[in-house]
Amino acid sequence: MNKKLPAAVMLLSMLPYATAGTSAIGTASARGDMRVDGYSVKGDATLFNGSVVESGQASVALRLSKGGEAKLATDSRGAFYSDRMVLQHGSTEWTPASNYAVNADGLLVAPDAPHSRGVVSVSKANTVEVAALTGGFRVSDSRGLLLAHVTPGHALSFGSLQAATEGSYQVTATGAFTESAGHYYLKTTDTGMLYEVQGSNLQNLVGKTVTVSGTLDPNIQPAGGASSVITASGTSAQTPAAQGSSSQAPQPAATQGGLSNRKKLIIGGIIVGGATGLALGLYEANESSTPASR
């Protein structure tokens, strides 16, 4: 009997390590069938770190212990972790807690304002759509380079980003062109993204609406609170900027109501305001039905 004690003690001491990797991170609930880690489930299921949830003909409501609430639209699939959701295909609407993020086709979508509520979708063509219903979201690449802000009432669609070998992106952006302390800035129309622009013969563009093409390089530190630096290879002045533009550094854009369909920005692939139908469709579906979670 005594010879068995060491083995029993060793087994008991291993239990905390065995259960540590299987701590519950939330629950999933559906009115119809769903699959969790490859198994068909009806009703409710407990989620663990790395659980993969697939919706069928019914949406799936998720309550995450550290990540707020989320909903997978029909025919969607995502893996759930304690700090992020990896959306593999389909759509999700989520109200994140803290910095809970959605990873979609290499893009990281995270809240940058309290009480944010948004929609993210991944299409079969690897297009990622992001819409902000309330609050706001920042979209970054896998290295943490800020690509865009999505503000309430706006929606952006991101094509597959093709980075150059040195890790930079080809970018085309349009906005108000200003100057402050010898630095030039472009504040994009509607999205309110602020870039420092470097290049030659920029002084004549100040006070105008300008389209800048060039390279977005994460290795250059921007000035004046800008998110990134665009090294310009070409510029095109369109019309005088709105009244009130000056040589001062631009201020954040005011929130505008209504989802916009206008082209916003091109980085590597295409970023346009084309996610309007996605955002409104999922939003209205959620508002017209009771939550699936219990």
Spans of the chain, pLDDT less than 70: 1-22, 160-167, 190, 239-294
Output the pLDDT for position 167: 63
Name the nearest CA neighbour of 211 among 236, 185, 242.
Answer: 236
Output the pLDDT for position 192: 78
Residue extents of the structural domains in the chain: 24-161+271-287, 169-250
Structure tokens at 79: 């893996």
Output the pLDDT for position 61: 95
Per-residue pLDDT tens digits for 178-209 = 999 999 999 987 677 899 999 999 999 999 99
Name the nearest CA neighbour of 119 among 102, 99, 105.
Answer: 102
Output the pLDDT for position 160: 63
Per-residue pLDDT tens digits for 209-253 = 999 988 887 788 999 999 889 999 999 997 555 444 333 333 333
The DSSP secondary-structure symbol of 247 reads S
* Distance, CA of 83 to CA of 91 (rounded, Å): 19
Output the pLDDT for position 284: 43
* Distance, CA of 203 to CA of 160 (rounded, Å): 34
Report CA torsion sign: 20, 25, 31, 36: negative
Please compute Rg for the chain using Cα positions. 23
Structure tokens at 41: 């489930």
Output the pLDDT for position 158: 78
Residues 6+ apart with CB under 8 A from 121: 73, 87, 90, 91, 92, 104, 128, 129, 275, 278
Q: Would you mind telling me the total number of residues written for the chain in this entry?
A: 294
Name the nearest CA neighbour of 158 among 192, 193, 120.
Answer: 120
**Which amino acid is present at 145?**
L
* Distance, CA of 25 to CA of 272 (rounded, Å): 34
CATH T-level fold of 169-250: OB fold (Dihydrolipoamide Acetyltransferase, E2P) (2.40.50)
Contact between 152 and 135 under an 8 Å Cβ cutoff? The reply is yes
Q: Structurally, what CATH architecture does the domain formed by 24-161+271-287 represent?
A: Sandwich (2.60)
* Distance, CA of 278 to CA of 276 (rounded, Å): 5
